[in-house]
């Protein structure tokens, strides 16, 4: 699942083109007005996702990945956020739709799970009550039927002794169990789109793998399309078909998971890759962190947003990186990169950098 | 839960015993001879000594305390022979100044103070919570700004000032209400209401100001919680999100605050009853303090303390009902 063949069908993120994708985000922009000025948290993000596929949105904290999905779900407060662009769910634009219409779609056609399952479940209500509520808001069924459906889902997500657990409060469950409950609640009305916002970040490493396995199982069973928001490239390798790498509210590289893992052409992505622990490297191999911190959204660098932290800006003639904002340009089928460095040079650099780990597979 | 209640009641009992001792010692340490206070101007030393013996004030402090506590549970007999009289349980003492048993004094005045207190609590919670929730939901808009300003305004005035202003304008200047005089609810509900409405507002306005601010900040905090986002992500209508998920969690701290503030009700009652000359326990307490009617003072303090302890127990139990995480103790 992790390695998609090169000729896999990936729609290039071209704005304005007609698309058959199930979720088609086009030139999404989100601005918040704060006391310190207008913050553009998301700036022209586009991506597409087919039914039953997984798209990973990767980036550091503050890169705009959560804001993007909250905008798609209609969870941003319209009084605070100004959203432009389009997010087509099966052809229907969620950004221009009424909030009432988006609410109807939430929980039925699209659902979401969050980072911290403890704070995401209501502490005063039993798990069963919260599940039953999720069923009954969308379906006209009796409490008993809704409860039966809840029990079925709890069993499906692997909660042991579900008939007893259903009357537990969230604080009585373990972290992994709580995230299973969240998944059960999200999938209880068979949504076609699931947005998972860092679903494993708050969990133990052993439990992380279980949750990822569970999501993969459920995806193949129900054919759910998944947007997986994460900063954990290990999780991405396990699940994603396509990857969008975000930095400073923009997409800096996008492509099939295989492209990102073995043919990445963007220095920021290289940085992310170099900071992931890997089993296949020598045990004395050091992890290389990306120097510096993400840019303040209030004071974006004028040129390439990644320039202040980029070790390769000397590869570009003059000071283009300081002055000119690079465009997201095609680097191969379904693969696009936002970088001023010449493509041939980028490939050379990447080949040197990852010679050991990419090996033969990385050769074009 | 049963064990928890038992433990709490046990602790409470000890606190009451401790409170009764402190109250007793404190009021006996007052530099006034309680026996000398028992008779008026034309007093002879013989009468004072006779009263001292009748009231058991010639005994040691420890013995007096035992008598006092015994009286509360089993009643007691003052004096002996011809001049003796019975004070039935719960006997909280005998006021020689008022020539009445303290228990009777308290029972007579209880309906007045209970009427004031209950109404005031309902009014301040109603006003405070409603306006606080409204302000939170309209955060930053004119409704929020108005409510916050008005709340701050009332919160800034002392109770007695509000009471006097209300009395002066509503009753004296505009004549909108008759001058307050105590009418039991059972006799004339409308008259009772007319009398009570100003004392209620006098106590409630300052508290409502505080509760508005408290509710507003609690609601804002709750509405920013992750589980509210989850409720929205399920596709619940905003009204349901706020009512079912927001209010329950946001108002929990209000319950705690109310429990604590009940302790200050007696203070409010003293002011309100004094301004509107209502014969309640607060007025009784104040009068006893100025005339050094020590038995009444001691009994009132003890009863008020017991009330606070019980109120806090009720609040804690209520908290357990509202928040399941508290039940595990």
Digit-coded pLDDT (tens) for A160-177: 999 999 999 999 999 999
In total, chain A counts a number of residues equal to 364
DSSP state of B29: S
Within 8 A of A108 by CB-CB distance, chain B residues are 235
Domain range summary for chain A, segments of one domain joined by +: 23-247, 251-362
Judge: B227–A121 Cβ closer than 8 Å, yes or no.
yes
Cα atoms in the Cβ-side hemisphere of radius 13 Å centred on B135: 26
The pLDDT profile of chain B, 329 residues, written as one tens digit per residue, is 678 788 888 999 999 999 999 988 887 777 777 777 777 677 788 888 887 887 788 888 888 888 888 888 888 888 777 767 888 888 888 887 888 899 999 999 999 999 999 999 999 999 999 999 999 999 989 999 999 999 999 999 888 999 999 999 999 999 899 988 899 999 999 999 999 999 999 999 999 999 999 999 999 999 999 999 999 999 999 999 999 999 989 988 898 898 888 878 888 899 999 999 999 999 999 999 898 888 899 999 999 889 888 888 888 888 888 888 876 55
Delimit the CATH 1.10.3720.10 region(s) of chain B: 103-326
Q: Which residues contact residue B231 at a Cβ distance below 8 angstroms, ignoring those fewer than 6 apart?
A: A122, B240, B241, B244, B245
Residue A100 and residue A148 in contact, taking contact as beta carbons nearer than 8 Å: no
Measured between alpha carbons, how far is B70 from B89 in angstroms, rounded to an integer?
Answer: 9
**The domain defined by B103-326 carries CATH number 1.10.3720.10:** yes
Judge: B227–A169 Cβ closer than 8 Å, yes or no.
no
Q: Which of A57, A64, A70 is nearest to A294 (CA)?
A: A64
Over residues A61-85, the pLDDT tens digits come to 889 999 999 999 999 988 889 999 9
**The domain defined by A23-247 carries CATH number 3.40.50.720:** no
Q: Which residues contact residue B239 at a Cβ distance below 8 angstroms, ignoring those fewer than 6 apart?
A: none
Q: Which residues contact residue A11 at a Cβ distance below 8 angstroms, ignoring those fewer than 6 apart?
A: A19, A21, A48, A50, A334
Q: Check whether A10 has a pLDDT greater than 90.
A: no
Amino acid A12: pLDDT: 47
* B240–chain A nearest CA distance, Å: 10
Amino acid B312: pLDDT: 86
Measured between alpha carbons, how far is B81 from B104 in angstroms, rounded to an integer?
Answer: 24
Going by their DSSP bridges, the two strands A92-93 and A37-49 should be labelled as unpaired
**A144: burial class by Cβ within 10 Å (0-12, 13-18, 19+)?**
exposed
Judge: A124–B324 Cβ closer than 8 Å, yes or no.
yes
B interface residues, A as partner, C-beta within 8 Å: 225-227, 229-237, 240, 244-245, 248-249, 322-325
Judge: A122–B324 Cβ closer than 8 Å, yes or no.
no
Q: Which of A245, A249, A244, A251 is nearest to A327 (CA)?
A: A251
Q: Which of A175, A178, A161, A176 is nearest to A127 (CA)?
A: A178
Within 8 A of B322 by CB-CB distance, chain A residues are 124
What Å distances lie between residue B289 and A200, B264, B293, B297, CA to CA?
A: 66, 18, 6, 6
**What string of DSSP letters covers A38-67?**
EEEEEEEEEEEE-TT-EEEEE--TTSSHHH
Count residue pairs from A and B with Cβ separation < 8 A. Answer: 67
Q: What are the tokens at A258?
A: 């295989």
Angle between helical axes of A143-156 and A127-138 (0-180°, round to 10): 120
Mutation test of the interface with chain A: which of B231, B233, B324, choosing the one with the most A Cβ atoms within 10 A? B233
* A139–chain B nearest CA distance, Å: 12
- 3-state DSSP assignment of residue A300: coil
Q: What angle do CA B175, B179, B185 make, to 5 degrees?
A: 120
Measured between alpha carbons, how far is A255 from A268 in angstroms, rounded to an integer?
Answer: 14
Stated pTM of the model:
0.82
Q: What are the tokens at B126?
A: 């109603």
Within 8 A of B323 by CB-CB distance, chain A residues are 123-124
* B170–chain A nearest CA distance, Å: 42
């Amino acid at each position: 699942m992790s390695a998609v063949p090169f000729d896999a069908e990936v729609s290039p993120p071209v704005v304005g083109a007609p698309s058959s994708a199930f979720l088609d985000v086009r030139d999404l922009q989100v601005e918040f007005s704060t006391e310190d000025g207008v913050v553009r948290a998301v700036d022209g993000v586009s991506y597409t996702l087919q039914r039953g596929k997984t798209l990973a949105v990767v980036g550091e904290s503050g890169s705009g990945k959560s804001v993007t999905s909250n905008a798609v779900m209609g969870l941003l407060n319209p009084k605070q956020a100004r959203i432009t662009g389009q997010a087509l769910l099966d052809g229907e634009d969620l950004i221009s739709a009424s909030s009432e219409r988006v609410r109807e779609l939430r929980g039925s056609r699209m659902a979401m799970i969050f980072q911290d399952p403890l704070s995401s479940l209501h502490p005063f209500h039993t798990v069963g009550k919260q599940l039953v509520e999720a069923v009954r808001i969308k379906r006209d069924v009796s409490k008993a039927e809704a409860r039966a459906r809840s029990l079925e889902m709890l069993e499906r997500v692997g909660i042991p002794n579900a008939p007893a657990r259903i009357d537990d409060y969230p604080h009585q469950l373990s972290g992994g169990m709580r995230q299973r409950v969240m998944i059960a609640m999200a999938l209880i009305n068979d949504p076609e789109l699931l947005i998972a916002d860092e679903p494993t970040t708050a969990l133990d490493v052993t439990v992380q793998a279980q949750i990822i396995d569970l999501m993969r199982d459920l995806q193949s069973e129900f054919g759910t399309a998944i947007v997986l928001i994460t900063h954990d490239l290990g999780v991405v390798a396990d699940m994603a078909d396509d990857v969008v790498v975000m930095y400073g509210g923009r997409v800096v590289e996008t492509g099939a998971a295989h492209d990102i893992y073995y043919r990445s052409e963007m220095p920021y992505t290289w940085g992310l890759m170099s900071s992931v622990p890997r089993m296949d490297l020598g045990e004395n191999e050091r992890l290389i962190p990306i120097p510096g911190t993400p840019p303040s959204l209030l004071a974006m660098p004028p040129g390439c947003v990644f320039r202040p932290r980029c070790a390769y800006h000397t590869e570009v003639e003059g000071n283009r990186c300081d002055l000119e904002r690079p465009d997201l340009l095609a680097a191969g089928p379904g693969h696009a990169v936002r970088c001023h460095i010449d493509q041939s040079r980028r490939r050379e650099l990447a080949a040197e950098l990852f010679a050991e780990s990419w090996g033969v597979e990385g050769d074009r | 839960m049963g064990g928890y209640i038992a433990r709490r009641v046990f602790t409470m009992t000890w606190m009451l015993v401790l409170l009764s001792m402190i109250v007793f010692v404190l009021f006996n340490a007052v530099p006034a001879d309680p026996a000398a206070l028992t008779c008026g101007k034309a007093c002879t030393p013989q009468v004072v000594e006779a009263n001292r013996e009748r009231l058991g004030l010639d005994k040691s402090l420890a013995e007096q305390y035992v008598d006092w506590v015994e009286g509360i549970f089993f009643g007691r007999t003052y004096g002996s022979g011809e001049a003796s009289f019975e004070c039935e349980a719960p006997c909280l003492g005998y006021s020689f100044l008022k020539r009445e048993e303290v228990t009777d004094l308290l029972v007579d005045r209880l309906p007045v103070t209970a009427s004031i207190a209950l109404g005031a609590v309902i009014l301040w919670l109603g006003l405070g919570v409603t306006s606080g929730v409204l302000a939170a939901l309209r955060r930053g808009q004119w409704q929020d700004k108005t409510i916050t300003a008005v709340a701050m305004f009332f919160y800034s005035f002392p109770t007695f000032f509000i009471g006097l202003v209300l009395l002066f304008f509503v009753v004296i200047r505009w004549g909108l209400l008759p001058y307050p005089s105590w009418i039991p609810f059972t006799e004339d509900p409308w008259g009772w209401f007319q009398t009570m409405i100003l004392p209620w507002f006098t106590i409630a306005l300052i508290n409502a100001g505080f509760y508005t601010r408290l509710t507003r900040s609690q609601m804002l905090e709750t509405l920013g919680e992750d589980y509210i986002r989850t409720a929205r992500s399920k596709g619940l209508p905003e009204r349901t999100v706020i009512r079912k998920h927001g209010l329950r969690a946001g108002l929990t701290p209000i319950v705690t605050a109310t429990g604590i503030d009940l302790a200050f009700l007696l203070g409010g009652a003293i002011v309100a009853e004094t301004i509107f000359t209502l014969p309640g326990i607060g007025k009784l307490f104040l009068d006893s303090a100025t005339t050094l009617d020590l038995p009444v003072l001691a009994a009132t303090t003890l009863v008020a303390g017991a009330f606070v302890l019980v109120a806090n127990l009720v609040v804690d139990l209520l908290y357990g009902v509202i928040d399941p995480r508290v039940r595990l103790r």
